[in-house]
Chain A
């Protein structure tokens, strides 16, 4: 055996696993075919946040008058905007590189392929390398799912990846799919001045969120000037010299064909399970995603899988957490299994969305008698001072036990707030402890308190 542990893929699952393994004294190698840090910090979470920061500031400048400031009509240089985003990604990529070095983790560049449950052949620029270890973690991530019949060529039809480095500023943009990725890009381009249409196949946007959140975001985006079409299908997407025509068919059967300058396809992901040698090992999968046990082990002993290549939710922080569980299990520890109900999710549109746990509808469907609290931003002093008085914090409790089943927030900075509820839920607090917690004034977090109080008919400020 050349190593104690091999990790295939260096995204937020793989590289975190590698560091933990090094901390635990394992001799570990990580194999990456592209860039250290994976999609997340090269082409996902981080560079989009950089773009969205630009559009947010742009929005503030164009609305500076509301804050008593006079600013001449601002302009922007799209290349500079994307350059900044790429620089941010590069900085973090460099950060991961130095982390690997610091923890003495061997980075093997190239395409890895499992030849057995303990061996990986890596095709490097300098030829093939044979690596072996008792344990292997597959952390190969996922890629954008294509719309059947539509090839995202990067010219006028984009995936997230093209949308991150646009060759030109779209004037009229069609976003297909309204998950976090679709809505974030819609928000970015809309704030930067594009006329944006979002089409969702299901009956509401951000369909995994609480229905109240979806409704609020849809209203807010519409007010910002976007066109949101739900319960609709997109077909006949055909690029021409000056744009892309697409047909949108709504639930009532009405079809309309329009031309757009650009189209972003954001209809989900596919796991990266091809060409890594899984077929011969007979690894169990579910809809293409690798099936794992609570310790992230596949049906093949010693072979683990984490992150987007496994089941949902497909989020970087879930991958990282799984990486730690897998490594600690490999090292002979007894880590606590991941509780998928306790994974927060964030969408960085304007408005932001953050949530954890069960939606009200899912809580009811699971048989809970619920108590629901809801507190609006308009009732919060800090929100009003910020000029961000739209949004709400919703909490869902089990009426019998007082268990916090879920929390759903929409509005400014909620993505930075959700961790409070994550801690509370992880520690299994009831409404009583949350009520007794003192939240600082003036902060947006006070709304988290008020929402809990409201669930019990005790909200103070609304």
Chain B
């Protein structure tokens, strides 16, 4: 019996994936649970386990193939107890329709069932989902338009629909892909002419969509290599472009003294040693940001078109440098979690992030972000907001600096922090209040553990 092994859906929204690596080759005998391949989605790389047993007859998708649709046959197995002569079979799938013969690692559901949808930590749709944009109003688009937009990294919220009732149709997405951002109304005429007869709906006002920035062809006389962008890098590029182009940022910077926090950390670490937990400064700053967001709820928000989403919980997305690129695992409910729990969770999440094994629910969502480049000696920087979130805290290095205390010079360990705020949602004074709250919590750190 031939068994078709198909591209699994590793998350509810996954429609295509990159077959990053095969772990098996034709002739291998597979047992249930063996790792057969690594699949890269737009956010993570996951290992796929075999569910059926048998001999690998054929690998149908080459390593590195992008955009393999979920459900596409990627491998054929000769089932148990059968010698494996390669009998050409005109349509093996008819004998054995095999929707979900393999499952993503970490899915605890039965093999036949798709992975259960992850619990959403916030009321907003997961960031990066093509369907729900950051805006609160629903984007009306055809299923095909949605799918192509997702595949091509086009933000549907930036596209004007020309279909019935202004629905976004395929032609609109295609136009957004092909047309460069328009500077003025000029060019409308040429665009209409380009479309040719039979397709003459008025040219959509081409949005300054964040398409793949038209990369200038590399100058040939400079020695270079070309690296194909991985899905993670593509998403980073798209999301950050979108953030900088659509979110008006303001930046508020202040210095905080760390000495009290460092002392508390040393004391806590001594106390936590028997439990094998070690707090980092960052763990405490996560807690400080979460508590500050609860103290200044006007900053724990998302701008959503006609609405402002005000969160009743502080979920902190923490930037982690993974080999494939930046990713932001989330400490959910950091405002109510103990710092020791935050430290434990952060350690596990960072390890998973570096291994590319984060589950979608572990990085999608969050109400605010934190990025710390202090360990690289960076003194101060301005971070880019991660929509639909409305703020991100950029943390610099703690260093001994000369400070003036009571008209006298003194030495203190000082760290510069900068908050980036979505000015549509947050006024400068409210942002300043949040920064003050963070400063207060760090400089009088007992509040973090009380």
Q: A294-B199, A459-B97 are in contact. Are A429 and B144 (CB under 8 A)?
A: yes
B169 located at the interface, meaning its Cβ lies under 8 Å from any Cβ of chain A in the complex: yes
Binary per-residue interface labels of chain A (385-420) against chain B in the complex, 1 for a CB within 8 Å, 0 otherwise: 000000000000001111100000000000000000
Determine whether the beta carbon of B199 is less than 8 Å from that of A339: yes
Determine whether the beta carbon of A401 is less than 8 Å from that of B97: no
Q: A339-B199, A400-B16 are in contact. List 11 more A-B contacts (CB 8 A).
A: A293-B197, A336-B163, A336-B201, A337-B199, A337-B201, A340-B198, A428-B170, A456-B71, A457-B71, A457-B73, A458-B99
Closest to B73 in A: A457
Q: Find chain B residues with CB under 8 A from A462 CB.
A: 94
Q: Count the A residues whose beta carbon is within 8 Å of the partner chain — how many?
A: 29
CA gap between A432 and B97 in the complex, in Å: 16
Determine whether the beta carbon of B145 is less than 8 Å from that of A428: yes
Determine whether the beta carbon of A428 is less than 8 Å from that of B144: yes
B93 CB to nearest chain A CB (Å): 3
Closest to A374 in B: B91
CA gap between A427 and B147 in the complex, in Å: 13
Q: Find chain B residues with CB under 8 A from A403 CB.
A: 144, 170
Task: Enumerate A236-280 residues with CB–CB distance to B below 8 Å.
Answer: none
Q: Find chain A residues with CB under 8 A from B164 CB.
A: 336
What are 15 of the A-B contact pairs (CB < 8 Å)?
Answer: A294-B197, A294-B198, A334-B202, A401-B148, A402-B15, A402-B144, A402-B147, A403-B144, A403-B170, A428-B145, A428-B169, A457-B4, A457-B98, A459-B94, A462-B94
Closest to B170 in A: A428
Q: Find chain A residues with CB under 8 A from B6 CB.
A: 457
A430 located at the interface, meaning its Cβ lies under 8 Å from any Cβ of chain B in the complex: yes
Q: A403-B170, A428-B145, A457-B6 are in contact. Are A337 and B67 (CB under 8 A)?
A: no
CA gap between A179 and B12 in the complex, in Å: 47
A338 located at the interface, meaning its Cβ lies under 8 Å from any Cβ of chain B in the complex: yes
Partner of A458, one of B15, B71, B169, B202: B71
B143 located at the interface, meaning its Cβ lies under 8 Å from any Cβ of chain A in the complex: yes
Q: A336-B163, A399-B69, A402-B69 are in contact. Are A458 and B147 (CB under 8 A)?
A: no
Determine whether the beta carbon of A432 is less than 8 Å from that of B199: no
A77 located at the interface, meaning its Cβ lies under 8 Å from any Cβ of chain B in the complex: no
B127 CB to nearest chain A CB (Å): 22
Determine whether the beta carbon of A433 is less than 8 Å from that of B97: no
CA gap between A295 and B198 in the complex, in Å: 9
B440 CB to nearest chain A CB (Å): 51
CA gap between A460 and B94 in the complex, in Å: 8
Binary per-residue interface labels of chain A (132-174) against chain B in the complex, 1 for a CB within 8 Å, 0 otherwise: 0000000000000000000000000000000000000000000
Q: Find chain B residues with CB under 8 A from A400 CB.
A: 16, 67, 69, 151
Task: Describe A's contact surface by its main secondary structure.
Answer: loop
CA gap between A453 and B99 in the complex, in Å: 11
Closest to A294 in B: B200
Q: A334-B202, A459-B97 are in contact. Are A401 and B151 (CB under 8 A)?
A: yes
Binary per-residue interface labels of chain B (120-145) against chain A in the complex, 1 for a CB within 8 Å, 0 otherwise: 00000000000000000000001111
Determine whether the beta carbon of A457 is less than 8 Å from that of B93: yes
* Chain B interface residues toward A at CB < 8 A: 4, 6, 15-16, 67, 69, 71-73, 93-94, 97-99, 142-145, 147-148, 151, 163-164, 169-170, 197-202
Q: A293-B197, A337-B199 are in contact. Are A430 and B144 (CB under 8 A)?
A: yes
Q: Find chain B residues with CB under 8 A from A454 CB.
A: 94
Closest to B16 in A: A400
Partner of B143, one of A292, A295, A337, A430: A430
Closest to B196 in A: A294
Determine whether the beta carbon of B200 is less than 8 Å from that of A337: yes
Closest to B96 in A: A457
A357 CB to nearest chain B CB (Å): 13
CA gap between A402 and B147 in the complex, in Å: 8
Closest to B92 in A: A457
CA gap between A336 and B15 in the complex, in Å: 30
Closest to B145 in A: A428
Determine whether the beta carbon of A457 is less than 8 Å from that of B97: yes
Determine whether the beta carbon of B73 is less than 8 Å from that of A433: no
Determine whether the beta carbon of A293 is less than 8 Å from that of B97: no
CA gap between A210 and B394 in the complex, in Å: 60
Interface centre among A334, A401, A403 (most CB of B within 10 A): A401
Q: Find chain A residues with CB under 8 A from B144 CB.
A: 401-403, 428-430
Determine whether the beta carbon of A293 is less than 8 Å from that of B151: no
Interface centre among A338, A339, A340, A456 (most CB of B within 10 A): A456
Closest to A291 in B: B197
Q: A338-B198, A339-B198, A458-B71 are in contact. Are A401 and B163 (CB under 8 A)?
A: no
Partner of A428, one of B16, B143, B201: B143
Closest to A462 in B: B94
Partner of B200, one of A295, A402, A458: A295
Q: Find chain A residues with CB under 8 A from B71 CB.
A: 456-458
CA gap between A428 and B148 in the complex, in Å: 11
Determine whether the beta carbon of A428 is less than 8 Å from that of B197: no
Closest to B152 in A: A401
CA gap between A427 and B146 in the complex, in Å: 12
Partner of A460, one of B15, B97, B197: B97
A457 CB to nearest chain B CB (Å): 3
A207 CB to nearest chain B CB (Å): 22
B320 CB to nearest chain A CB (Å): 32
CA gap between A432 and B145 in the complex, in Å: 13
Closest to B142 in A: A428
Partner of A433, one of B143, B148, B151, B169: B143
Q: Find chain B residues with CB under 8 A from A458 CB.
A: 71, 93, 97, 99
Q: Find chain B residues with CB under 8 A from A430 CB.
A: 143-144, 147
Closest to A457 in B: B93
The 7 closest A-B pairs by CB, nearest first: A294-B200, A457-B93, A428-B142, A428-B144, A337-B200, A458-B97, A430-B143
CA gap between A459 and B73 in the complex, in Å: 14
CA gap between A453 and B94 in the complex, in Å: 10
CA gap between A402 and B4 in the complex, in Å: 20
Closest to A336 in B: B201
B181 CB to nearest chain A CB (Å): 24
A426 CB to nearest chain B CB (Å): 9
Determine whether the beta carbon of B198 is less than 8 Å from that of A337: yes
Q: Find chain A residues with CB under 8 A from B148 CB.
A: 401
Closest to B97 in A: A458
CA gap between A462 and B15 in the complex, in Å: 26
Q: Find chain A residues with CB under 8 A from B67 CB.
A: 400
B191 CB to nearest chain A CB (Å): 14
Determine whether the beta carbon of B200 is less than 8 Å from that of A429: no
Closest to B164 in A: A336
Q: Find chain A residues with CB under 8 A from B16 CB.
A: 400
CA gap between A400 and B4 in the complex, in Å: 19
Task: Enumerate A420-458 residues with CB–CB distance to B below 8 Å.
Answer: 427-430, 432-433, 453-454, 456-458
A304 CB to nearest chain B CB (Å): 14
Task: Enumerate A163-219 residues with CB–CB distance to B below 8 Å.
Answer: none
